[in-house]
Amino acid sequence: MAGGGLWLLLILAGLGEGEAASSTAQALFVFGDSLIDSGNNNNLASLAKANYFPYGIDFADGPTGRFCNGYTIVDELAELLGLPLVPPYSEASTIQQVLQGANYASAAAGILDDSGGNFAGRIPFNQQIENFESTVSQIAAASSSPATADMVARSIVFVGMGSNDYLNNYLAPNYDTRRHYSPQQFADLLVGQFAAQLTRLYKAGARKFVVAGVGSMGCIPSVLAQSAAAGGCSTEVDGLVQQFNAGVRAMLDGLDGNLAGAKFTFLDTFRIFKAILANPAGFGFSVVDRGCCGIGRNGGQITCLPFMPPCADRERYVFWDAYHPTAAVNVILAREAFHGAADVMAPINVQQLARL
Neighbour-count burial of 19, counting CB atoms closer than 10 A to its CB (0-12 exposed, 13-18 middle, 19+ buried):
buried
What are the backbone angles phi and psi of residue 177, rounded to the nearest 5°?
A: -55, -40
Q: How many CA atoms lie within 13 A of 152 on its CB side?
A: 20
Annotated catalytic residue: which of 34, 143, 145, 222? 34
Please confirm, yes or no, whether 34 is among the known catalytic residues. yes
Please confirm, yes or no, whether 61 is among the known catalytic residues. no
Annotated catalytic residue: which of 176, 234, 321, 343? 321
Please confirm, yes or no, whether 176 is among the known catalytic residues. no
Annotated catalytic residue: which of 33, 75, 234, 324? 324
Q: How far apart are CA 121 and CA 80, in angstroms?
A: 32
CA 62 to chain centre: 20
Question: Mapped to the 3 state alphabet, what secondary structure does the chain carry?
Answer: CCHHHHHHHHHHHHHHHHHHHHCCCCCEEEEECCCCCCCCCCCCCECCCCCCCCCCCCCCCCCCCCCCCCCCHHHHHHHHCCCCCCCEHHHCCCHHHHCCEEECCCCCCCCCCCCCHHHECCCCHHHHHHHHHHHHHHHHHHHCCCHHHHHHHCCEEEEECCHHHHHHHHCCCCCCHHHHCCHHHHHHHHHHHHHHHHHHHHHCCCCEEEEECCCCHHHCHHHHHHCCCCCCCCHHHHHHHHHHHHHHHHHHHHHHHHCCCCEEEEECHHHHHHHHHHCHHHHCCCEEEEECCCECHHHCCECCCCCCCCCCCHHHEEECCCCCECHHHHHHHHHHHHHCCCCCEECCCHHHHHHC
Neighbour-count burial of 273, counting CB atoms closer than 10 A to its CB (0-12 exposed, 13-18 middle, 19+ buried):
buried
Catalytically annotated residues: 34, 321, 324
